[in-house]
Structure 1
């Protein structure tokens, strides 16, 4: 008999992005390909938390796609799926403000998510 309990990951998220996830309008989460995310898989659950608060929301991972950089990710996934409130160029600037060049060279992950209701 196999264990069908999904793995749960806890990740912090800025308020502006948390609100989009909680509303179900942000369907692609962007992360650097850090080693601790290397085994992220379809069916895993991510519990997003606004740092320093008890506010959380859970999403299920539907797909994980690796890109060489953030620009390729936005081009491949479509900026409206990452942040429906900002243009491609605004998003690229925002993402790069969070993750400096030395992090971006590790690779970028597009994590397709679906809100768990």
Structure 2
């Protein structure tokens, strides 16, 4: 009996994410991920795959669009607040984001990444 070939892992950008946001992505309720526009985010393009990981779980998404902005305020002037986090107001989201990213990181610029689920979440 021959061994079954093992599936090759899908090549994707890897991103860690807080549990509250992971759960929204995994249920399809969060369709825009926002990050500072650092070197690794500059490589993300429409059609790229992103694997989000949190506490031993992962979910695979495909990038549907990429939009770059000078800062979080400008980004929220153009992006749907509900697509980023349907459970929080714009003000709550900006406050939460600025707790994650200090001003010197925000100064790199901001990227809004449209995402859609490719595979259901799984435990790794």
Pair in the same fold by TM > 0.5: yes
- Correspondence for 2:44: 40
Which runs of structure 1 show a deviation greater than 4 angstroms over 4 or more consecutive aligned residues?
A: none
Write the distance in 1 (CA, Å) between the matches of 2:110 and 2:118.
24
Give unpaired runs (5+ residues) of structure 2.
1-9, 120-124
Write the distance in 2 (CA, Å) between the matches of 1:89 and 1:100.
16
Structure with max Cα Rg: 2
**Are 1:25 and 2:29 matched, yes or no?**
yes
Output the TM-score relative to the length of structure 2: 0.85
- Correspondence for 1:111: 113
Contact 1:7 1:44 in 2 (8 A): no
Contact 1:8 1:45 in 2 (8 A): yes
Aligned positions, number: 110
1:56: how far off?
A: 0.3
Q: Root-mean-square deviation (CA), in Å? A: 1.1
1:7: how far off?
A: 4.7
**SS of corresponding position for 1:38:** helix
Write the distance in 2 (CA, Å) between the matches of 1:30 and 1:102.
16
Give unpaired runs (5+ residues) of structure 1.
1-5
Output the TM-score relative to the length of structure 1: 0.90
